[in-house]
Amino acid sequence: MPKKKFTRIWIGADTSIFSPHPARKNDIFTALFFGTFIPLQGVEYIIGAAHLLAQENISFSVVGNGQTKKRILFLAEKLGIKNVVFFDTVSQEELFQKIAKADVCLGIFGNTPKTMRVIPNKVYECLAMKKPVITADTPAARELLSDRDVHFVQAANSASIAKGILHLKNNQNTMEERAKNGYDTFTSNATPLILGEQLKRCIEALV
């Protein structure tokens, strides 16, 4: 279909649920992933990163279900992964608490065309909660975000993910800067009020 038939606005996040919240400091540095287990997410690369970081004081929380989860659980067992805790899908309130407690949040890392085309809900939600985010460096993400807002790593690359996590763990100031800048970019571009106004203008242009 011709591009003139389309208008793009950001997905955004529900700020009545996802907003900054103070959380206690973890004894172990915690990286959180949540989402459906579909190929664009690249959960296998997160498991690979956890394997590479097995000797570090880092814990991974992986939340959700989906088509590749059995394969991911088999991979984790095969690698003898001890630093990953798997959870089923949780309520929004439980998810809010898990994001609040996490030190860093993980976006998407898959090796698919769709990975290159989307900024997933989880990235907006974690930015809205003023959390440092690690995600794949893609054209879609670059349309809104910069290296000041999130920590970009290579897609489909466990070593790059592991390096990014370790870099933030060892650089508290960088973590705090990413969290602040990402939150500022979110509040300037992707809150429900801003997106509602954009959608209203799109509809008005058609009628």
Phi-psi region of 123 (alpha: psi -120 to 50; beta: other; left: phi over 0): alpha
Residues with Cβ within 8 Å of 165's Cβ and at least 6 positions away in sequence, in order, are 31, 49, 53, 58, 104, 134
Q: What is the pLDDT of residue 81?
A: 97
Per-residue pLDDT for the chain (207 aa), expressed as one digit of tens each?
998 888 889 999 999 999 999 877 778 999 999 999 999 999 999 999 999 999 999 999 999 999 999 999 999 999 999 999 999 999 999 999 999 999 999 999 999 999 999 999 999 999 999 999 999 999 999 999 999 999 999 999 999 999 999 999 999 999 999 999 999 999 999 999 999 999 999 999 988
Supply angle C-alpha 123, 73, 38, rounded to 5.
40
- Cα 4 to its chain centre, rounded Å, is 30
Q: What is the pLDDT of residue 175?
A: 96
Q: What is the pLDDT of residue 176?
A: 96
Q: What is the pLDDT of residue 25?
A: 75
Q: How do the domains of the chain map onto residue ranges?
A: 26-204
Tell me how far CA of residue 58 lies from CA of 15, 62, 94, 130, in angstroms.
Answer: 29, 13, 21, 20
141 vs 62: CA distance, rounded Å:
22
At residue 46, what is the residue type?
I
**Domain 26-204: which topology?**
Rossmann fold (3.40.50)
Residues with Cβ within 8 Å of 20's Cβ and at least 6 positions away in sequence, in order, are 129, 130, 183
Q: What is the pLDDT of residue 199?
A: 96
Predicted TM-score of the model (pTM): 0.96
Supply angle C-alpha 59, 61, 66, rounded to 5.
145
